[in-house]
């Protein structure tokens, strides 16, 4: 089974769309579908996307405890670049880039503007 998209809550759709489009601009990210309360962002609808939305119940979005979206990078340099870009766009650090498991996993962790946790990683 393949992931089509992952949805995270947003309190300000314009800011959330700008954050993810800017963060992944080098990968061709843009808003693919904009339904007002929900938007899907990616390079094409045939590739995995990130979706941002105002919760259906109209309450504040709440990041889950233990939930995280993982974005694969091409190499360690891209992990570092995505981390730095996310921070420059207003994300907060949850773990600077580094080797987490020797010779197996290199990653960096941030929280987006609404506190949703994500990692940029590469195996090796």
- Summarised one tens digit per residue, pLDDT across range 59-72 is 999 888 889 999 99
Q: How confident is the model at residue 2 (pLDDT cuts 50, 70, 90)?
A: confident
Q: Which of 27, 66, 65 is nearest to 48 (CA)?
A: 27
Q: What is the predicted pLDDT for the residue at 1?
A: 55
> In terms of residues, how long is the chain?
124
Taking only the tens place, the pLDDT of each residue in 100-123 is: 999 999 999 999 999 999 999 999
Crossing angle between the packed helical segments 76-88 and 13-23, to the nearest 10 degrees: 150
Note every long-range contact of 45-49, with CB atoms under 8 Å and residues 24 or more positions apart, other chains counting.
Answer: 48/2, 48/3, 48/4, 48/5, 48/6, 49/4, 49/5, 49/6
Quote the CA–CA distance of 55 and 20 in Å, as a whole number. Answer: 18
Quote the CA–CA distance of 17 and 113 in Å, as a whole number. Answer: 11
Taking only the tens place, the pLDDT of each residue in 27-51 is: 999 999 999 999 999 999 999 999 9
Quote the CA–CA distance of 1 and 15 in Å, as a whole number. Answer: 31
Q: How confident is the model at residue 58 (pLDDT cuts 50, 70, 90)?
A: confident
| H-run or E-run covering 44 | none
């Amino acid at each position: 089974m393949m992931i089509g998209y992952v949805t995270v809550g947003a309190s300000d759709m314009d800011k959330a769309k700008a954050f993810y489009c800017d963060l992944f601009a080098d990968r061709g990210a843009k808003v693919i579908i904009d339904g007002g309360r929900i938007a899907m962002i990616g390079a094409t609808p045939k590739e995995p996307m990130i979706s941002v939305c105002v919760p259906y119940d109209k309450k504040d979005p709440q990041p889950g405890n233990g939930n995280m979206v993982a974005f694969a990078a091409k190499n360690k340099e891209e992990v570092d670049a995505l981390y730095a870009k996310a921070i420059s766009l207003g994300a907060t650090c949850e773990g600077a880039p580094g080797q987490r498991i020797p010779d197996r996993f290199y990653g960096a962790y941030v929280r987006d503007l609404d506190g949703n946790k994500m990692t940029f990683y590469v195996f090796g």
